[in-house]
């Protein structure tokens, strides 16, 4: 089995739920504790062995490319002032030359369309999809857990988790079959999936939470450009069509997901990442307690 080297990150969304913060800053460049959401997600991908990141971007998102490139003036000034720790931290997120691609989606036609836009860059190999709104705090990182499942069973892997009560209809929902050995009941063959099922019709409470390992055959199915739930081209629909020919497994990963596409989720992610930072967890706790007492 060939290693999964490329990850597709659809980032073109308007960030409607976090406006006006996302008006002039691409939503995935908003901050979680000490760096942009996207830097955390790229670090997760690197920890899972990803060598090339394919960003599916929209107009006005040039700041994403700039973030992962050298900022010569900034770096020169930090070096001149002897601020070597900050300089090292800034450089830690840089891309290796040639290890990132930026593809314009050109029209907001849905997640499936965004992933399809990566077809030429990905080519004929298995690849990962990471939805950067969903910041996953996990050890091992969520995508590394998906890779371990992929190495065990091959085919296609979809990371899932239980939806909060009453919220399953907002997501892609999976139906499960036989359990795969060696994953404590957390890895199961998938028998179906449905995007945003009407409330009360959900086949389970397990929702597709934002990390996938997919075979390139999904691109042909996405190329049919069939609109699904909400009038959008849905990745879930193409995966369901691929399920007729190829195995899919759902992995219930171990970790905590923060939906950073939402104001409260973004705030929660900031607090959670600040609290776990070894250097200042104590200070953060004291600051929060101070606020709660005031």
Q: Which residues bind ligand G1P (CB under 6 A)?
A: 111, 131, 134, 171-172, 195, 207-210, 234-236
The pair phi, psi for residue 207, each rounded to 5°, is -105, 150
In whole angstroms, the minimum distance from the beta carbon of 154 to ligand G1P comes to 22
Q: Which residue is nearest to ligand G1P (CB)?
A: 172
In whole angstroms, the minimum distance from the beta carbon of 237 to ligand G1P comes to 9
In whole angstroms, the minimum distance from the beta carbon of 46 to ligand G1P comes to 22
Contact of 222 with 113, CB cutoff 8 Å:
yes
Nearer to ligand G1P among residue 119 and residue 258 (C-beta): 258
The pair phi, psi for residue 133, each rounded to 5°, is -60, -30
- Cα-based distances in Å from 15 to 91, 107, 173, 237: 27, 15, 22, 23
For residue 66, give every residue at least 6 positions away whose Cβ sits within 8 Å of its Cβ, in sequence order, or none. none
Nearer to ligand G1P among residue 204 and residue 234 (C-beta): 234
3-state class percentages of the chain: helix first, strand second, coil last, to nearest 5: 35, 25, 40
In whole angstroms, the minimum distance from the beta carbon of 196 to ligand G1P comes to 7
Nearer to ligand G1P among residue 79 and residue 267 (C-beta): 267
Separation CA 236–CA 242 (nearest Å): 10
Separation CA 200–CA 169 (nearest Å): 8
Nearer to ligand G1P among residue 6 and residue 196 (C-beta): 196
- Cα-based distances in Å from 143 to 150, 228, 251: 10, 27, 11
DSSP helix/strand/coil, 227:
strand
In whole angstroms, the minimum distance from the beta carbon of 83 to ligand G1P comes to 38
Pairing of strands 6-10, 134-137: unpaired
Tell me the longest C-alpha to C-alpha distance in the chain: 62
Contact of 148 with 270, CB cutoff 8 Å:
no
In whole angstroms, the minimum distance from the beta carbon of 13 to ligand G1P comes to 7
In whole angstroms, the minimum distance from the beta carbon of 166 to ligand G1P comes to 15
Nearer to ligand G1P among residue 209 and residue 215 (C-beta): 209
Nearer to ligand G1P among residue 265 and residue 284 (C-beta): 265
Nearer to ligand G1P among residue 155 and residue 172 (C-beta): 172
In whole angstroms, the minimum distance from the beta carbon of 39 to ligand G1P comes to 19
Nearer to ligand G1P among residue 229 and residue 280 (C-beta): 229
Nearest C-alpha neighbor of 243 from the set 207, 174, 191, 197:
191
Radius of gyration of the chain (CA): 19
């Amino acid at each position: 089995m060939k290693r999964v080297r490329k990850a597709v990150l659809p980032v073109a969304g308007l960030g409607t739920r976090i406006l006006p913060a996302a008006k002039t800053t691409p939503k995935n460049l908003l901050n979680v504790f000490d760096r942009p959401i996207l830097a955390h997600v790229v670090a997760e991908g690197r920890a899972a062995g990803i060598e090339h990141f394919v960003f599916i971007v929209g107009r006005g998102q040039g700041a994403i490319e700039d973030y992962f490139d050298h900022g010569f003036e900034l770096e020169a000034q930090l070096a001149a002032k002897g601020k070597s720790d900050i300089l090292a931290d800034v450089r830690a997120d840089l891309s290796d030359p040639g290890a990132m691609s930026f593809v314009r989606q050109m029209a907001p036609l849905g997640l499936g369309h965004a992933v399809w836009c990566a077809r030429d860059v990905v080519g004929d190999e298995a690849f990962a999809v990471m939805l950067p709104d969903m910041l996953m705090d996990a050890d091992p990182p969520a995508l590394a857990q998906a890779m371990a499942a992929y190495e065990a069973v091959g085919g296609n892997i979809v990371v899932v988790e239980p939806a909060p009560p009453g919220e399953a209809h907002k997501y892609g929902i999976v139906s499960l079959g036989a359990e795969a050995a060696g994953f404590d009941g957390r890895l199961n063959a998938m028998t179906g999936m449905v995007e945003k099922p009407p409330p009360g019709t959900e086949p389970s409470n397990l929702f597709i939470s934002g990390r996938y390992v997919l075979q390139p055959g999904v691109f042909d199915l996405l190329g049919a450009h069939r609109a699904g739930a909400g009038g959008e081209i849905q990745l879930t629909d193409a995966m369901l069509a691929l399920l007729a020919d190829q195995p899919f497994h759902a992995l219930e990963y171990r970790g905590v997901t923060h939906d950073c596409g939402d104001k409260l989720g973004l705030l929660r992610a900031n607090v959670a990442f600040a609290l776990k930072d070894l250097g200042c967890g104590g200070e953060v706790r004291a600051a929060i307690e101070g606020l709660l007492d005031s």
